[in-house]
Amino acid sequence: MKRPTPDRLLSLVVIAPSLVAIAVFVYGMIGWTGFVSLTKWDSLRPDYAVVGLVNYAAVFTNPRFQIDLRNTVVFTAFFVLSSLIIGLTLANLLDRRIRGESIFRNVFLFPMAISYIVTGVVWKWLLSPSSGVNQLFGLDPATNRWFTDPTVLSISPESPAGHVLADIGLGFLASTNIGIPVAMLSIVIAAVWQMSGFVMALYLAGLRGIPDELREAARVDGASEWAVFRHVVFPLLLPVTLSAVIILGHISLKIYDLTVAMSPQGPAYATDVPANFMWQTTFRDGLYARGAGVAIVMLLLIVLVVVPYLVWTRRQEVEV
């Protein structure tokens, strides 16, 4: 074995405290939470008797958690997609070298600097049925219910489509647990308002990194502006898009502050999220082991998004 050089030793010494801190406070705690989720700890007195996956069974059979999972998927899908589309559009508009570009850039980016709690409170005022936009535009509060709307868009088991699904063995799809809670879309509006400027900044940086020669070459070859965007610019923006999806995705999977400030649960849990469920299960109901189970499920959801990304970026690095 080679003797380590003094440089290498020094770097190890410098890095050691943070390694230890991360090992204990991140991975140690994750491991501890995982262990607790397998125990019987259901009161303030810790009980480390291992009971296996009982807590996970209780979590997954809980109607509220099933609703929360649906909400998370719907929120993530709408939030990520809308932020990407709006962010990309804004970035392209700003990339036209318009006058006052820096003013617009800052205006679009500012919301990101605000805490989710503030955003939540403001949008709660704006979208409360009896105030805000309804009053401003004279909309009927009885039909424009925003985040208080209990409607869940789903396929009814009694509808023709529901019968077809049942016939081909997919009857479980015709349920409100596989649907779009309308109230959640109000939360999406607030979240998109906050984060699309950030996506715009990412894309703008990406656009500025694309050499003009490439576009010129395409134009010389007779490509239309749309074709230039579609076949030259957009493929080069793919890494930016992926980063944006990962960043937005992990934010939305563990979102808590925005929904708590705006609408903690909503009608029939239409705006409830797993983080809220975890907090209440643990600290209000005192079911520590079950709360730990919810935490682990949330972690796994995020791992599902982040790990493929890490693998992908690693491959890219190897190729380079």
Partner 1 sequence: MYGKKLFAALAMVGLVGACAGGASPSPSAPIKVEIVSWWTTGGEATGFNKIIDLFNQRNPQWQAYNSAIAGGAGSAAQAVLQSRVLAGNPPDSFQVHMGHELLDTYVTPGYMDNLDDLFGANNWTSQFPKGVLDIVSANGHYYSVPVNIHRANVLWYNKKIFADNGLQPPTTWDAFKTVAETLKGKGITPLAVGDSGIWTSGQVLETILIGTLGADGYKGLWTGTTAWTDSKVTQALDTFKMVLGYINPDHSSLTWDQAADMLISSKAAMTIMGDWAAGEFINKQFTDYGWAAAPGNDKIYDALADSFGIPTKAQNKDAIKAFLTIAGSAEGQDLFNPYKGSIPANTTAGSPPASAQQYTDYQKSAMAEWKTDAIVPSLEHGAAASPSWRGAFEQAVTLFVANPDVSATQQQLASACKDAKVCQ
User: Which long-range contacts (C-beta less than 8 Å, at least 24 apart) are formed by 153-157?
Assistant: 153/179, 153/180, 153/181, 153/182, 154/178, 154/179, 154/180, 155/179
Near partner 1 by CB under 8 A: residue from 218, 265, 275, 297: 265
Residue placing its CB nearer to partner 1 in the complex, 15 or 238: 15
Binding-site member from 155, 263, 292, 296 for partner 1 (CB under 8 A):
263
Q: How many CA atoms lie within 13 A of 264 on its CB side?
A: 5
Among 16, 25, 89, 107, binds partner 1 (CB under 8 A): 25
**Nearest CB to partner 1, comparing residues 108 and 269:** 269
Contact 244, 87 (CB under 8 A): yes
Q: For 121-141, give the DSSP string.
A: HHHHHHH-TTSHHHHHTT--T
CB of 183 to partner 1, least distance (A): 8
Sign of torsion over alpha carbons 204, 107, 110, 301: negative
Count of Cβ atoms closer than 10 Å to residue 106 Cβ: 11
**Residue 105 · residue 201 · CB < 8 Å:** yes
Q: At its nearest, how many Å lie between partner 1 and the CB of residue 267?
A: 4
274 lies in the binding site for partner 1 (CB under 8 A): no
Out of 99, 284, 317, 319, name the contact with partner 1 by CB under 8 A. Answer: 284
37 binds partner 1 (CB under 8 A): no
Q: Which of 198, 201, 269, 293 binds partner 1 (CB under 8 A)?
A: 269
82 belongs to the binding site for partner 1 (CB under 8 A)? no
Least CB distance from residue 239 to partner 1, whole Å? 23
Only one of the segments 48-56, 105-113, 146-154, 216-224 lies at the binding site for partner 1 (rule: CB under 8 A); that segment is: 146-154
User: Is there binding between residue 130 and partner 1 (CB under 8 A)?
Assistant: yes
Q: Which of these segments, 37-45, 68-76, 90-98, 162-170, binds partner 1 (CB under 8 A)?
A: 37-45
Smallest separation (angstroms) from partner 1 to the CB of 2: 33
Closer CB to partner 1, 204 or 292, in the complex: 292
157 binds partner 1 (CB under 8 A): no
Using CB atoms within 10 A of its CB, is residue 70 exposed (0-12), middle (13-18) or buried (19+)?
buried
- Please count the residues of the chain: 320
- CA–CA dist 152, 180 (Å, integer): 5
Asked if 70 touches partner 1 (CB under 8 A), the answer is no
Q: Residue 74's closest CA among 177, 169, 206?
A: 177
310 binds partner 1 (CB under 8 A): no
> Is 42 among the residues that bind partner 1 (CB under 8 A)?
yes
CB closer to partner 1, 218 vs 294: 294
264 sits near partner 1 (criterion: CB under 8 A): yes
- 8 Å CB contact between 218 and 231: yes
Residues 2 and 106: their CA atoms lie apart, in Å, by 53
Beta-carbon contacts of residue 271 (< 8 Å; ≥ 6 apart): 71, 147, 181, 183, 184, 186, 187, 259, 262, 263, 264, 265
Q: Does 119 bind partner 1 (CB under 8 A)?
A: no
Contact residues for partner 1, defined by CB under 8 A? 21-22, 25-26, 29-30, 42-46, 62-64, 124, 128-130, 141-142, 145-148, 150, 263-270, 279-281, 283-287
